[in-house]
Amino acid sequence: MKNTNFRKPNIYKTNCPSCNETIHIDEFQVDEDEVIDCPECWTLLQIVSVQPFKVIEHFDENDFEWV
């Protein structure tokens, strides 16, 4: 007997703020504050919202040298 308790994940879609490439990701792969990369320009993106799906460019102070 086939198990029918599984459902297909919702697919979220948004655009990269850096290159405007459309990013698709399923709901089981993302959490708020997670950092992903754009598949086109490799910009690091932070997920700020899942519903609606929204990302911003990730900023990490440790990536910069303070003079």
pTM exceeds 0.85: no
pLDDT at 63 over 70: no
Q: Is residue 21 part of a domain?
A: yes
Any idea what DSSP says for residue 64? S
Any idea what DSSP says for residue 30? -
Which domain covers residue 32, as residue numbers? 11-60
pLDDT at 1 over 70: no
Decide if 24 contacts 11 (C-beta within 8 A): yes
Q: Give the three-class secondary structure for 63.
A: helix
Q: Is residue 6 part of a domain?
A: no
Q: What is the CATH number of the domain that holds 27?
A: 2.20.28.160
Q: Is residue 65 part of a domain?
A: no
Q: Is residue 3 part of a domain?
A: no
Domains held by the chain: number: 1
Q: Is residue 29 part of a domain?
A: yes
**pLDDT tens-digit series, residues 5-61:** 777 778 889 999 999 999 988 888 888 999 999 999 999 999 998 888 899 999 876
Q: Which pLDDT does position 55 carry in this prediction? A: 93
pLDDT at 65 over 80: no
Q: Is residue 66 part of a domain?
A: no
Q: Which helix (H) or strand (E) element contains residue 54?
A: strand 54-57
